[in-house]
A and B are shown apart, each in its own frame.
Chain A
Amino acid sequence: MSDEWPLWEVFVRARRGLSHVHVGSLHAPDAVMAVRNARDVYTRRGEGVSIWVVPSAAVTASSPDEKDAFFDPAADKVYRHPTFYEVPAEAKHL
C-alpha cells in the first residue's frame, strides 16, 4: 500500500430536479478536499449545482461482472410490462 491519497467517486446533480449522476473519480486526502477538487475537475463550466463524493472503497457492487445470473429473474417476467397486455383498440387511455 502506497501513501497515495484515497480514491473518491464523484456524483454531480446537473440541475435542480435531476438525480446526482456518476461523472468519474479522483484522489483526495479527505472528503472536504474531494468536494473541492471535484468542483475544479468536473464542474468548470457550470455542469452542476451539487456534488456528492463517496470513498470508492465504500461502494458495494452487485457482482464481479455486470451480466450474470443475478439479473436473470427479471428476464422472463414480461407480464411486468404494460405492452404484455392486449386490449381492444376502442378502449382508450389504457
Chain B
Amino acid sequence: MAASDERDDAFHAIIDADGRIEPRDDMPDAYRRSLVRQMAQHAHSEIIGMQPEGNWISRAPSLRRKAILLAKVQDEAGHGLYLYAAAETLGVSRDELLERLHSGKQKYSSIFNYPTLTWADIGAIGWLVDGAAITNQVPLTRCSYGPYARAMVRICKEESFHQRQGFEALLALTRGTAAQRAMAQDALDRWWYPSLAMFGPPDTPSQERTATHTEQSMRWGIKRFTNDELRQKFVDMTAPQADVLGLRIPDDELRWNDERGHYDFSDPDFDELFRVISGDGPCNEQRMAHRVSAHADGAWVREAASAYAAKHATAQQEQVPA
C-alpha cells in the first residue's frame, strides 16, 4: 500500500533526523503499541512504588522525615499521573490502563515487590531505587515521543530530591550509633542486587533471555542506551557514594578497573528477577491486593464527584479566575 508506505516514510524521516513524534502524527502500529506498553508500565511502577514507602509514613523517626516522605510519595503519585496522561495521547483510556494493571496483563517494576523492613530501607530506596530510576530516566527526556519526553523532564527534576533525601537519611544513620550503622548496612545488603536488576535482563546474546525490546526501541529513539550500559553507569555513580556513607556494597567482585575506566561488579540474579516479575516475589500479592482495594474503596468518591458535576453542569457555567 503506497499510502501507508508514504506515512511510514514521514515517520522515519522524523526519527532519522532525531525529531519528535507528536500524538496526531502517523506512526507504525508497533511503535504505538510499544510506547503504550512502556509508558503504562512506567506509570504503574510509579503508583505501586508509593506502597513500600507509604508503609513508613506513620513511623518516620521525626516530623521532618515524615514531611519529606509524604512529599516524596505524593511526587510518585504525580509521576504516575504525568505518565498515564502521556500514554492516553496515544488513544488508550485511563480506565483501560488501570484495568490492565489490576488484571495483571501489564507489569510494574519488580523492585516494588520487595518489603521495607526497617527505616533504613526508606533511605536505601531513595538512594538506590530512585538513583537507578534517574539513570534509566534521564536518557528518556530525549525519547522520540514528545509527550513521554516532556513528562520525563518534569519527573527527572523531581527525582533528584528523592535521591538526595534518601542518601541524607542513610548518612544520618551511618553517623549514628553502631546499631544504626548496622541497620543502614543491612538495608544496602538487601536492596543492592534488586536495584541492579531494575535495569532488566543483560544484553549479551549468550544469555538465554535477552533484552528483547531493546534493539527495536533503540532504532525508534525510545531507548538510548542498553540495559547493561545503564547498569554500568549506575554502579559507576553509586560505588563512590557508598564510600562516602562508609557502607560496603555486598559484592566481592566490585573494584575499579583502570583499563575499562569503569567499576567491575557482579550481575544480579536474573532468574530471581524473572521469578519476581512473573509474580513470585515477596510482596506481589500484597501490592496488587492493596492497589485493587484502594481503587474499589475510592469508587464512591469518583461517583459522588461525577453526580455533583452533572447536577451543577446545567445550573451555571463555572467561572474560573485567570
Contact = CB atoms under 8 A, between A and B. Distances in A.
B81 A65 contact: no
A30 B318 contact: yes
A35 B302 CA distance: 16
B24 A61 contact: yes
B10 A32 contact: no
A5 B25 contact: no
A30 B25 contact: no
Contacts of A40: 74, 78
Contacts, number: 65
Interface residues of A, number: 27
B308 A7 contact: no
A31 B322 CA distance: 13
Interface residues of B, number: 32
B85 A25 contact: yes
B95 A32 contact: no
B74, B313, B318: residue with the most chain A Cβ atoms closer than 10 Å: B318
B64 interface: no
A32 to B, nearest CB: 6
B204 interface: no
Contacts of B93: 2, 4
Contacts of B318: 30-32
A89 B94 CA distance: 60
A36 B250 CA distance: 46
Interface in B270-322: 302-303, 305-306, 308-309, 312-313, 318, 320, 322
A14 interface: no
B82 interface: yes
B22, B85, B303: residue with the most chain A Cβ atoms closer than 10 Å: B85
B85 A24 contact: yes
B81 A41 contact: yes
A67 interface: yes
B189 interface: no
A41 B155 CA distance: 12
A64 interface: yes
A41 B78 contact: yes
Given A2-B93, A7-B88, A67-B10, A30 B309 contact: yes
A15 to B, nearest CB: 14
13 contacts: A2-B95, A24-B150, A29-B302, A29-B305, A29-B308, A30-B318, A40-B78, A41-B82, A44-B78, A50-B322, A52-B322, A65-B10, A66-B25
9 shortest A-B CB distances, which residue pairs? A30-B309, A29-B309, A29-B305, A31-B318, A25-B85, A2-B95, A29-B306, A4-B95, A41-B81
Interface of A: 2-5, 7, 24-27, 29-33, 35, 40-41, 44-45, 50, 52-53, 61, 64-67
Given A5-B306, A66-B22, 14 more contacts: A2-B95, A3-B303, A4-B93, A5-B302, A24-B82, A29-B309, A33-B309, A40-B78, A44-B71, A44-B74, A50-B322, A52-B320, A52-B322, A66-B25
